[in-house]
């Protein structure tokens, strides 16, 4: 019986040690989870910032690549400005929709310009709606909608022609 008591006490002691070890592991795991979550959030913000920065740089680069063609159309890439509007009330588009395009006002004409590395049909489909919002917000008619892209899908190019959207592009890609 005394041996059984000794073994039981030893098991209880080891079980207590094991419980403390498991508790410490749980604490460390929770701490690591918090750290990973915080790092993930910071990484997301960093990548988002880089993406926005690259997007702005890409637009400038694309406009400068097609500078000569744009200038032949009376558009000076250096005079193109960002137009960004959030439809907070849902007055023009779905509530919260952000319209982000480039605009140029020159010789009393208003141009809406969308710059893409690759233009797809969905981009083309949205352009008239974006131009309509620009018209309503600025209170004047858009004279020309222009899509400038390094690459454009063939169905996007066809749709742009149907919608009378001007296009300047480098390559046509078969969709």
d(CA 133, CA 136): 5
Task: Label residue 15 by pLDDT band (50, 70, 90).
Answer: very high
Task: Label residue 38 by pLDDT band (50, 70, 90).
Answer: confident
d(CA 80, CA 54): 18
**Dihedral-angle region of residue 121 (phi above 0 means left; psi in -120 to 50 means alpha; beta otherwise):** alpha
Task: Label residue 162 by pLDDT band (50, 70, 90).
Answer: very high
Task: Determine the pLDDT at residue 48.
Answer: 58
Evaluate whether 74 touches 107 at the Cβ level (below 8 Å): yes
């Amino acid at each position: 019986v005394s041996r059984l008591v000794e073994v039981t006490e030893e098991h209880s002691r080891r079980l207590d040690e094991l419980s403390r070890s498991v508790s410490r592991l749980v604490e460390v795991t929770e701490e690591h989870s918090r750290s990973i979550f915080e790092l993930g959030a910071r990484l997301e913000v960093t990548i988002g910032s880089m993406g926005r920065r690259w997007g702005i740089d890409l637009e400038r680069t694309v406009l400068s690549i097609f500078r000569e063609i744009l200038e032949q159309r009376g558009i000076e890439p250096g005079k193109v400005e960002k137009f960004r509007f959030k439809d907070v009330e849902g007055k023009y588009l779905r509530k919260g929709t952000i319209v982000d395009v480039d605009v140029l006002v020159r010789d009393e004409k208003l141009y809406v310009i969308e710059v893409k590395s690759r233009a797809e049909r969905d981009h083309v489909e949205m352009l008239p709606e974006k131009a309509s919002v620009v018209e309503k917000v600025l209170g004047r008619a858009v004279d020309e909608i222009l899509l400038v892209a390094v690459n454009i899908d063939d169905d996007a190019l066809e749709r742009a022609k149907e919608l009378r959207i001007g296009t300047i592009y480098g390559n046509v890609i078969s969709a």
